[in-house]
Structure 1
Amino acid sequence: MDAISTARSAESSKKRLTDSEKVDISDGRLEYQTPFGDDSGEVQYQTMSWWQCGMVMIAETISLGILSFPAALAAIGLVPGVIIIIGIGIIATYAGYIMGQFKQRYPHVHNMADAGEVMWGRIGGELLGSAQLILILFGMASHILTFTVAMNKITGHGTCSIVFGLVGLAICFIGTIPRTMRNVARMSIASFASITIAVLITMIAIGIQRPGKGTVGAVAEDASFYHAFLGVTNIVFGFFGSVIFFSFMSEMKNPNDYPKALCLLQTTEICMYVVVAVVIYYYGGEDVTSPALGSTGNLVSRIAYGMALPTILIGGIIGGHVSSKYIYVRLFRGTGRMNERTFVSIGSWCLIALVLWVIAWIIAEAIPNFSNLLSLIAALFASWFTFSLCSYFWFFINRGQWFSTPRKIFLSVVNMFIFLIGVCVCGLGLYVSGRAIHEAPSGHSFSCANQES
C-alpha cells in the first residue's frame, strides 16, 4: 500500500512539473529550464517573433563588413569568389540549423558557455564562455573604431579621433540599457535599411564612375596564396554571427520558429553578399578598396558613411546587449533579480554594460592596426564557432548513432568535413593574419590623428 501511494505521489508530482522544472532522468542532464527564470515577473524576455529574431540576426551579421567582399573577389577572382560565398553561406546555414537542434535538445542553453557545460562540464563552459565574450568584445570595439572612421570621413576630421570614439561609446551604451531583445529588434529594421541604402549609394556611384572598367578577371591573375586566403578569411568572417544565435533563440516567443528566422537571415545574407560583391568589383576593378566606400568620390563616400551610421551603431549595440546578457544571466540565474525592476537589477545591468563598453573602447583605441588583429581573433575563435563547434554539436546530440543508418553515415561525413574546414580556416587564418600584422605599418595608440582606413 505504501509503495502504491508513493508511486501515485511521484506520478502526481511529475504531472505538476512546469517547463522550467523538467529534467532528463535518463542521463541526469537538465532537459528544460528557461534561461530567465520566472515567466510571471515584471520583465519578460521571451518576446520576439520569428521575423523579429531574423531582423536582429541580419542587423548583427550584415554590417559594413559586406563592403570588404568586393576586395575579396579582387584577390580570389570573380567566379571562385562567388562560389566560395555561396558555398560558405550554405555551410553556415546548415551549422546554424544544427545549433537550433542543440537548443531544442537542451532548451536551457542561453550562450556558448551553457553549451560547453552541457558537453564538457564546468571547464568546457568557462572555456567557450570566455572565448565568446572575447570575440564579442572585439566585435564591439570594431564598431567603435568604424564609427570613429566614419565620423572622421563625414566631418573631414572635425575633431580629435578619441572624442569620436567616446561619442560612439556613449551612444552604444545608451542603446544597450534596455534589458530585453524586443527593443533591439525594433532598431534592427533601421539597421537593415541603413546598410541597404549605403550599399545602393555605393553601387550606383561606382557604376556611374566605372573606375575599374576592363580590369576584372574571372579568375585572379598572379594572386599569391597569402593574398587569396586573406580574401577567403574576409568572406568566412562575414558569416560568423552564429556565435550569438543561442541568445537570440532564447528570447523568441516560440523557439521552434527559429528555422524561419535562420532562413530569413541566410537568404538575405547570401543574396546581398553576392550582388554587392559582384557589382562593386565589376565596376570598381582590381584596385577596389576595402571597405568599398573608398572606391567612390569623396562626397559620395561621406554620404554613404552617413547613411551607414545606424548600422555601425546598432550592430555594436546588439553585441553589447548579448555580452551584457551573458554576464547578467550568469550572475542572477536562479534568482528573482532578472525579472525585477529594482535598483539592484537595473543598476547591475547598466554597470555591466558600461564596463564592457569601456573595455571595448580601450581595445579600439589601443590597437592601431585593428582590422588585422580582428582577423587574428576571428581566426582563433570564429572558425570554431561557425564551423567546427557546430559540427561537434551534431556529433554530441547524435552520439551512438553516427553509423546507425545510411543517412546518419552521410551526415557524419558531412559534419566531419565541416569540422575540418574550421580547423583549416583557423590554422591558415592564423598564418595570414599574423603575416598581415607583421607587414602592416605601425600606428599610434590613443591618438587624435585622422583614422580614415
Structure 2
Amino acid sequence: MTAASASVTFSVALSPLLSDDALSSTAFIGIGCICCWLLCIPRTASRLGAGRPVDAPAEWRRAPAWFAKPSFRDGLNACLKICYAFSGNVSFVSYMAEMTNPQRDFGVALAWLEASSIGFYVFVAVSIYCLAGEYTTSPALGSAPGMLAQVAYGLVIPSVLSKGLAFGHTGIKFVYVEVMKHYKITHEMSVNTARSWSIWMIIATAFWTLSFLLSIAIPVFDSIVSITSAVTIAWFSFGISAIFSLHMNVKFSSWQNASLTLFNSLLIIGSLFLNGAGLWSSTTELSGALASRGNAVG
C-alpha cells in the first residue's frame, strides 16, 4: 500500500500538466509504477551509496580535518563567508514595514527564521564537509560528481532566485522611496500610476544592470561573496547597527549598559577590521583565482 501511494502521489504531482480526467490519472499512475519498477531492477542498493567528490582520486578516503591551520588570508576569507551567510538583517526593516501587525508578528517570524537558518546551515555545512573533506568546493554543491551536481543546482535554483528577489527588492525599494520623497510624490508610492510604475521600472532596470556589470567584473563565486562581505555587509549588518545602538544607548550606569556599550564598540572595531583587512584578503584571492584561470586557459 505504501508503494502504491508513491504512484498515486506521482499522478497527483503531474496531473495538472494535462487534464483531470480518469484516463490521465490512470496513465500517470502507470508511469509512476514503471519508473519505480525501473528503479527496483538493480538487486543491490550499491548505487545509493555515497560517491567520492568530483576531483577526488579513486583511492581517496574521507578524513575530515577538524582542526586546521589556514593562512591569515584563508582564515579571514572564511570568516567573511560566514558573515555573508548571516547578513539578512539588512532586509529585515523592509519586510517589517510591510507587515500588517509587525509588533505581533515580526519577533516570532525573526525567531523562526534564525533558528531554522542557523540549524540548517550548520547541518548542511557539516554534512557536506564530512562527505567531501578537502575536496569541498565553493559553492559546496559543486563537490558532487557530474550529473548529481547539476541535479542539485537545479533543485536550489528557486532558493538562488529568492536571494536575488529579497536583496534586489529591498535595494530597489530603498532607492524608490528616496526618489519619491525627493519629488514630493510619496502619495503615489503604493498607487498604480504611470509615473510611479515608470520610476520603479527605471530603478529596477538600473539596479540589475549594475548587478550584471558587477557579476561580469567579479565572476568568481568565492571572491564576490568575500568582497561583498568586506565592502558592504561589514557595515550594513554590524557596524551601522552598532553605531545606531551607541547613539541611543551610550550609558555606563549599570553593568548591563556598560556591557552593551562595550559590545557595540567591539562591533564597530570588527567592522573596520573586516572592511580593511577583509578587502585585502578578498581582492588578493580574486587576483590569484583569475591568474590561475588565465593560466589554465593559456
The reply to whether TM is greater than 0.5 is yes
In 1, Cα distance between the equivalents of 2:287 and 2:230?
16
Letter in 1 for 2:164: G
In 2, Cα distance between the equivalents of 1:354 and 1:337?
20
Given the alignment, which residue of 290, 294, 307 partners 2:142? Answer: 294
Query: Which one has more relative contact order, counting CA pairs under 8 Å at least 6 apart?
Result: 1
Alpha carbons of structure 1 residues 408 and 367: separation in structure 2 relative to 1, 3 Å = closer
Alpha carbons of structure 1 residues 387 and 207: separation in structure 2 relative to 1, 3 Å = farther
Equivalent residue of 1:269, what SS?
helix
In 2, Cα distance between the equivalents of 1:315 and 1:265?
14
Letter in 1 for 2:269: L
Alpha carbons of structure 1 residues 439 and 331: separation in structure 2 relative to 1, 3 Å = same
Equivalent residue of 2:135, what SS?
coil
Q: Percent identity?
A: 32
Aligned 1:7-406 pairs, distance under 5 A: 208-211=50-53, 213-220=61-68, 222-256=69-103, 257-333=105-181, 335=185, 336-369=187-220, 371-399=222-250, 402-406=251-255
In 2, Cα distance between the equivalents of 1:418 and 1:206?
46
Equivalent residue of 1:313, what SS?
helix
- Give the conservation status (yes or no) of the 8 Å contact 2:138–2:221: no
- Give the conservation status (yes or no) of the 8 Å contact 2:81–2:225: no
In 2, Cα distance between the equivalents of 1:343 and 1:302?
42
Q: Please tell me the root mean square deviation across aligned C-alpha atoms, in Å.
A: 2.5
Letter in 2 for 1:395: L
Match of 1:421 in 2: 270
**Cα deviations across residues 199-220 of structure 1 (Å, max 9, x unaligned)?**
xxxxxx9971255643212201
Match of 2:258 in 1: 409
- Give the conservation status (yes or no) of the 8 Å contact 2:139–2:221: no
Equivalent residue of 1:289, what SS?
coil
In 1, Cα distance between the equivalents of 2:49 and 2:139?
16
Letter in 2 for 1:241: G
- Give the conservation status (yes or no) of the 8 Å contact 2:76–2:278: yes
Q: Which runs of 5+ in 1 are unaligned?
A: 1-204, 445-453
Letter in 2 for 1:376: I
In 2, Cα distance between the equivalents of 1:311 and 1:398?
38
- Give the conservation status (yes or no) of the 8 Å contact 2:234–2:275: yes
Confirm or deny that 1:435 pairs with 2:284: yes
Equivalent residue of 2:275, what SS?
helix
User: Which has the larger Rg?
Assistant: 2
TM-score using structure 2 length: 0.72
**Cα deviations across residues 238-257 of structure 1 (Å, max 9, x unaligned)?**
11222222212211112223
In 1, Cα distance between the equivalents of 2:221 and 2:255?
47
User: What is the Cα deviation at residue 422 of structure 1?
Assistant: 2.1
User: What is the Cα deviation at residue 279 of structure 1?
Assistant: 0.8
**Cα deviations across residues 293-314 of structure 1 (Å, max 9, x unaligned)?**
1211211111111111111222
Letter in 1 for 2:261: S
